[in-house]
Chain A
Amino acid sequence: MIPMNMVTPPPELAAITALQSTLVSALRPILPEHALLWEPEDTIPYECDGLAAYRRMPLAVALPETEDQVAQILKICFDMQIPIVPRGSGTGLSGGAMPISQGLVLSLAKLKKIISIDPFTRTAVVQPGVRNLAISEAVAHLGLYYAPDPSSQIACSIGGNVNENSGGVHCLKYGLTLHNVLKVRGILMNGEIVEFGSLAPDSPGLDLLAIVMGSEGMLAVVTEVTVKLIAKPKLARVIMASFDDIEKGADAVAAIIAAGIIPAGLEMMDKATTRAVEEFVHAGYDLEAETILLCESDGTPEEVAEEIERMTQVLEEAGASGIQISQNEAERLQFWSGRKNAFPAAGRLAPDYYCMDGTIPRRNIGTLLRRIQGMEKKYGLACLNVFHAGDGNMHPLILFNGADQEEWHRAEEFGTEILEACVELDGTITGEHGVGIEKINSMCVQFGEGERESFWGVKSAFDPEHLLNPDKAIPTLNRCAEYGRMRISGGNLPHPELERF
């Protein structure tokens, strides 16, 4: 499958141009001139999100500056039955913000005000375009912060986080976006303003906030988010443990949890990754280790001392071949620097990398890593493994050269096989990056027809006309039927030399 070709053949160019001019004239009266783009040179930056392999040009891009403008845009598109693709900072890794050829991209990037901060109730009300890290920066002087920290936190927006239910390095202890957002104000496709959740601990009726979380822009357009702030830990320290065997490292992860410890972060990197990043950041990693675990404790100094001691003991008993404990903040950051720079380091090894995101029960980490080693040989591509071991969220980085279509093809097949292995090992195809357009076929593997039909029921409850990001996350029954026909057992495709549309 070559993504560019997955798009159904475009209708007559003339028809698209006509639709575009109708849409633009309808939106012009309600938006400032600079807030509406339709010339290809202006809209091309919006043709993809963080998953650059999947691209498509929209009819137009709207960049509203107020909630009222968002509501009006939705009403206009609703009346014209034009689909909308909401977009935050465009850092998503699953193509969830890939445009629809006959649709509008609705960027929320200009709604970026922090509306209020209340230290007493430990909450902040922010617009969707506010960057994740900007929230923590704005409340740092109060001794508070916003816990979820996806690795794109410098750039990614809180509206995007809500739509993806983003996690991060610290979600093992502090939870996902779902656990840290109290209320979402949004607009339904028909233009109605609604509020999900509340500042109170619960709300009347069904818990609709729970279903809006991670809904990939398909249920409502987010215009305001109330986040929970928590007290900043006084201290954090990290243990870096080496293992001469990947299995031993994986078992150590389970041993820490079984000992009743929930570390603030518990990350794992394989040998290929440590070698790649060491060259890049010079963090002092043990290059002989088959795997390295980073195990963080945070809290009061007393708490951290106690936890570090307990974790060290567990790691030693689990057979760590080397243990280093950060002695100060600079050293802690140095230990983390490699983990945080794994992606750019992968970028130095190959022209492109393809990041996967499956989650599996911790006990199966070793099994999956071994299987991935086998797949590296099968597909003739290298793979780096760096991941959130504490919650079993794997991020294999498949290295390839995107200029070579055949190699990209192999990378995609490699990725699909990893995802199917995750499902088989009692896990899921996506832990935090979302399904988007990328993993939509794998949804046919993870869920049966009944579940997928129920998802469409949920979609229709919020957006009966299927106009909000309708081609993402939930595959149609036809699509799954086609995908089923295309695949045969063992992951081998008939006539692999043929392109598939």
Chain B
Amino acid sequence: MSNPKSNTNMHIDLFREQILTAAKTKTPLSIQGGGTKSWYGNANSYATLDTRSYSGILEYQPEELVITACAGTPLKEIEAILAEKNQVLAFEPPHFGDAATFGGAIAAGLAGPGRISVGNLRDFVLGARVLDGKGQDLSFGGKVMKNVAGYDVSRLLPGSMGTLSLLLEASVKVLPRPAATTTLRCHVAQARALQLTNEWAGQPLPLSASCWIGNSKGGDGELTIRLAGAAAAVKAAIPLIGATVNAIELDPKAAEEFWRNLREQQLPAFQNPNSNDTLYRLALPAACGLIAIANMSEDIVLEWHGQQRWLTAPGDDATFASIKALANTNGGHATRFKQGASVDPAKQRFTLLSEQTHSVALETVQARLRASFDPAGVFSTSRLP
């Protein structure tokens, strides 16, 4: 891979200086882009390493389906340049604010509504350039779709939340915007929504996303589904879906707004009414049926055909413990995604590896991995345990 490593870059030199100083003084650095997701992950009060000075799109050739950009590049800038060529980041990263950066999106590793049909953010990462905890400028992966030379280190970075290395640049795969998109809505009970979306996903239908919003205690809720693909495929799928449920087609503008608001958690169901509450995220296998805990709010949001569920409940440890147990029993895991203002910020937000079966030994592996990239603990903010 040709990498302009010999190029002296002032911003990179400054980052390296910060890293080496932190290593010497044993004070971790909290990597931050636009800070739009600063509430996500475990809280810390370490000094910030701001990535935004290292910004810009380095390479974009639409026919290669790859874009390479600096970590500090605004996410909206990337999406805008792709839109000009009718291409998209198919994993639909949530922004959670105007200032969201490319690097921040990768470090958080979050994907939007289409995740089950197109894949996770990490599936799209092809290569990365990083500064490790020793200040070494390293490049992994590359700019091509198929590459099995060396361990796939660039795919370890998504979701690592800045605890492994400082991401400088990344190359990600992009896709053409689907030729046609249609959104349908119907009213069905939660169990029926789980059944239907998974059945549709197993058929040759252009199902691209699903969302059920309703009352966790029972009754019909609103099931919204998105079909995307070749115009003929979408057109042919509408009557097939219509034969099963009584669905209406959403106006394209309203539909786009709905999916964006879902991704950005701007829908009313996400508006946490109580400052003692926490928005919990559950990642679950497709086979998981209805779930409930005693003290949760009525609103529940199901995405990804039920594999990502959002519920609001008190932020205390006992509640999190029961939610974690519920997720674990069903083969998934739970996160304190967003805490209300009165909940203690010092709380552990994630399920630990030691709390899951056959993951205990991986805690040692993970600790050794981090130590090898970052022996002095420059990135050991514990933002991700």
Contact = CB atoms under 8 A, between A and B. Distances in A.
Interface stretch (B11-19, B69-77, B137-145, B259-267): B137-145
Given A120-B287, A205-B385, A426-B2, A257 B146 contact: no
A447 B150 CA distance: 9
B285 A120 contact: no
Interface in B334-385: 350-353, 355-359, 361-363, 365-366, 368-370, 372-373, 384-385
Interface in B131-155: 132, 136-140, 142-153, 155
Interface residues of B, number: 95
Interface size class, chain A? 35 or more
A122 B163 CA distance: 34
B58 to A, nearest CB: 12
Contact of B287 (A121, A392, A432): A121
A113 interface: no
Interface string A34-70: 0000000000000000000000000000000000000
A231 B204 contact: yes
Contacts of B138: 448, 450-451, 454
B47 interface: no
B333 A200 contact: yes
B349 to A, nearest CB: 11
Contact of A206 (B120, B136, B159, B201): B159
Contacts of B357: 195
A206 B63 contact: no
Contacts of B236: 300, 302-303
A18 B296 CA distance: 66
B305 to A, nearest CB: 9
B232 A303 contact: yes
Contacts, number: 292
Interface in A92-131: 118-123
A201 B362 contact: no
A241 interface: no
Contacts of B385: 204-205
A240 interface: no
Nearest to B176: A260
A172 B145 contact: yes
A210 interface: yes
A318 to B, nearest CB: 12
Interface stretch (A75-83, A152-160, A355-363, A476-484): A355-363
Nearest to B147: A428
B351 A204 contact: yes
A178 B150 CA distance: 15
B62 interface: yes
Contacts of A214: 148, 151-152
Nearest to A255: B63
B310 interface: no
A45 B149 CA distance: 27
Contacts of A423: 1
B231 A257 contact: no
A22 interface: no
Contact of B230 (A303, A432, A464): A303
A194 B284 contact: no
B149 A300 contact: no
Interface string A210-237: 1101110001000000000001111000
Given A302-B233, A361-B64, A446-B149, A206 B369 contact: yes
Interface in A418-463: 423-424, 426-435, 439, 443, 446-448, 450-452, 454-455, 457-462
Which of A192, A233, A300, A462 gathers most chain B CB within 10 Å? Answer: A300
A198 B286 contact: no
A200 B230 contact: no
A164 interface: yes
A328 interface: no
A215 B206 CA distance: 33
**The 9 residue pairs across chains A and B that have the minimum distance between CB atoms:** A457-B372, A302-B232, A260-B176, A199-B285, A431-B146, A200-B332, A210-B155, A461-B368, A303-B233
Given A200-B284, A446-B149, 15 more contacts: A143-B203, A202-B283, A203-B333, A306-B232, A306-B233, A361-B66, A363-B63, A391-B146, A392-B146, A428-B142, A428-B149, A431-B146, A447-B150, A460-B372, A461-B366
26 contacts: A120-B202, A123-B286, A143-B202, A165-B148, A176-B146, A198-B331, A199-B285, A201-B307, A203-B283, A203-B359, A204-B350, A206-B160, A211-B156, A231-B202, A303-B206, A303-B230, A303-B233, A359-B146, A361-B144, A363-B63, A392-B145, A428-B147, A450-B137, A451-B140, A461-B368, A473-B150
